Chains A and B, each alone.
Chain A
């Protein structure tokens, strides 16, 4: 008996260790329906899709609770291949295409049409010849279905990025028995007209009875294409309804929500910061993989704490990394009226900037080295501090004194300053990173995802330290964070970055709707004048 829904995921709960990432989430999709799945990073979208595709990460961490009913039957999806054979397909965000293969070869990859011959009958299917004509015919048909005029024998490597997305889709719809397609941020790399074309293709696929799960952060696309919407927040189902019942503003507000726990209480500054411009960023482009910036323009005032927020992969982390010279960047950045050379980490550090990196273990710390060496290292290299004598030996005593002072001030829990940082907990490692940045006596501090992966107590201490540095020493701080609550608790203003550009600059008490809209690339009325 055919059921009303092609897919029902009922009461899904998934726990990683002691951390529940999905709590009793349900999702129902009818055949031929485009169902938008919305939520911030960490809301549980990817985990839910991992459950649907039976990814190894789910099974190797103890499976999940709840049931999945696909096409009227309770199913246990063991692996992505299993999902594929049941008729569940995925259009990946990063392209799963082989550049040196033709369009046809890519569409038919590992599903080649073959012809048997005597030797293959003897030695197995692997030795069957490719039936290139039939393959090309199939590919042509799939390409026509997605409205692509590109020749099926063209190499993928020479094609524009937008075309690759359509080839991915052509590959999925070429698979026979496809019943449910997941589109993961399909329009992220497309131009506006290509995005429109893609939404059209999605609709025509849906008309054939294939259900679509549409993961996106662009609310206007949800309004254009989706029939129904599910919103997740912090692993919980917030709401699920038909599109007709909603508006972009309502979606934005629901997506953000105001979490109650984990907010650090900090005394708010009474008056607005009206200092001079400490840093002016004009048209900054940064080529950081996964966090590309395409023309950031932003002013930072002296003495403020400026927050930079936005969804993951939208380019907020690219800003400090680009300016600090860790990734290739282009644009004009002035620091107290002086032009900063881009791509030259040494010069930037000398100018009085410092950064606490989001990549604590990779970029931030020398894990085998002691706490004191880590704290002193950059200052020794860049400014020649902690040196003595004319041969410039390391001044171990000065280093020890300074390290002990920082350990006390930042409450770094350790046995001694000589303990290797690799043996510290995440929170204490983060404090060492802060101490190291402070050893440079910076005028201006970038802090990137300072609370990622550390516990709540350490989180509070790190944030309080930042506020104290700002209030007592007047240090200008730019904090990049995925956690809006955190930004709202200590910042003076918050810039929201989407698709490599600053969309909006908001006050901390701006509405959830304004933040939600900004994250999906829409500037609200509450924001600052551009």
Chain B
């Protein structure tokens, strides 16, 4: 009975995730796309997007919902990239310069966003979404009018014969920012998987030896590691991964070190005093305040970190393989939406999120993204349907997550009320 309840609770919690797994399988099968191609596309999209999605975790834990205002972090990054291109700094140095410009800008914008969200407690998710749209206007003013006329720019980035920044900015060729990070080194996917499994096994044994985790958890982790290693050792699968039937799957090493570094950052900060403040504020502002935590300041810090990280994520996205150019006035628009949808697909909710959920969510969300078009043309004979389906998916997932959250709160409230009759019958 109790186990049944647990299974039910688990299903309720991860229903969106399971739905996406089922849909992904269905789409991959019906689209008739080559598995090797799907896998390589998927890895590409993971490289690009994982960092931004991971940037959402801290505000969620601090009780501020999904920070759709990471869009503004992306704008900060684009300002950084524009200036870098303008000054002609290339390669890793260029990326570092853009990141350095993003840091103070993102922190400042994050500070303002945090201040504003503190004035609308309980509405942060919607508030940050609208804030993102609002900032778009300011961004256009900056790029169309202020850059070029007030802040002088080189002619290679401005609109010919007018002020304002070009509609499209190019990172390739002589600009020298394209794949500046991705291209440093690659590691075969198969090797990466083996290293990952080895590291997981080693970490769980060390943690167990230091009595940080139970035997059960250690054995669980070891089994997971063994299964993953086992799966990739199957010759047929290994052949697919190695590119015997197409191209070899590879991971950009530095990008992934950065992504893993961010995972480590997220989990490390939760073990500090600041992390404890994030959690306390997220769970109950009144109690946090009563114990002397500066609630508003803590929330502002959470948003500042998130905004800067999202900006850096946007830089990684722009330089990644297969991008190379960006729409000056539109590239940031969907950042918050797609990242928010991805983390929700991974099983996160408005009030809890983990690194794993962010990564799994990015994986699942983009596996649908890649296959939607072909699957739609296979099923409906019209590839445009797939395009609509993508938009439907992203907004739909967010709507479902918001509804599920409201529904769960209502259910908890109801559970509290049922108590009354139980109490009464227990006493009489």
Contacts and interface: CB of A to CB of B under 8 A. Distances in A.
Interface of A: 80-81, 84, 92, 96-101, 105, 109-112, 114, 120, 125-130, 283, 285, 287, 294-295, 328-331
Nearest to A85: B292
Interface in B385-420: 416-417, 419-420
A127 B273 contact: yes
B292 A81 contact: yes
B272 A98 contact: no
A328 B272 contact: no
6 contacts: A98-B280, A105-B276, A110-B293, A114-B272, A129-B271, A287-B419
B279 interface: yes
A285 B423 contact: yes
B10 interface: no
A331 B290 contact: no
Contacts of A81: 292
A323 to B, nearest CB: 15
A416 B386 CA distance: 64
A129 B276 CA distance: 10
Contact of A294 (B269, B288, B421, B423): B423
Given A96-B291, A110-B293, 7 more contacts: A92-B290, A98-B280, A112-B273, A126-B273, A126-B274, A295-B424, A328-B420
Interface of B: 269, 271-274, 276-277, 279-280, 283-284, 286-288, 290-293, 416-417, 419-421, 423-424, 427-428
A92 B284 CA distance: 16
A109 B291 contact: yes
B277 A110 contact: yes
A96 B424 contact: no
A101 B283 CA distance: 9
A283 B428 contact: yes
A128 B277 CA distance: 12
A320 to B, nearest CB: 17
A130 B287 contact: no
Nearest to B212: A132
Nearest to B269: A127
B420 A128 contact: no
B428 A295 contact: yes
A84 B292 contact: yes
B280 A126 contact: no
A109 B287 contact: yes
B165 to A, nearest CB: 35
A204 B393 CA distance: 62
B277 A126 contact: yes
A126 B417 contact: no
A338 B298 CA distance: 57
B428 A127 contact: no
Contacts of B288: 98, 109-110
A21 B290 CA distance: 25
Contact of B273 (A97, A99, A128, A328): A128
A152 B283 CA distance: 19
Nearest to A100: B283
Interface centre among B269, B276, B416 (most CB of A within 10 A): B276
Nearest to A123: B274
A109 B287 CA distance: 9
Contacts of B269: 127
A84 B269 CA distance: 28
B295 to A, nearest CB: 11
Contacts of A295: 424, 427-428
Contacts of B272: 114, 120, 126-130
A443 B287 CA distance: 46
B273 A96 contact: no
Nearest to A282: B428
A246 to B, nearest CB: 34
A104 to B, nearest CB: 11
B291 A110 contact: yes
A60 to B, nearest CB: 17
A112 B276 CA distance: 9
Contacts of B287: 96-98, 109
Given A84-B292, A328-B417, A283 B424 contact: yes
A97 B428 CA distance: 31
A285 B424 contact: yes
A112 B290 CA distance: 15
A-B complex: 8 closest residue pairs judged by Cβ atoms: A126-B274, A110-B291, A109-B291, A98-B283, A285-B424, A287-B420, A100-B283, A96-B290
Interface centre among A109, A128, A130 (most CB of B within 10 A): A109
A343 to B, nearest CB: 10
A105 B277 CA distance: 11
Contacts of B273: 112, 114, 125-128, 130
Nearest to A329: B420
Contacts of A129: 271-272
A98 B271 contact: no
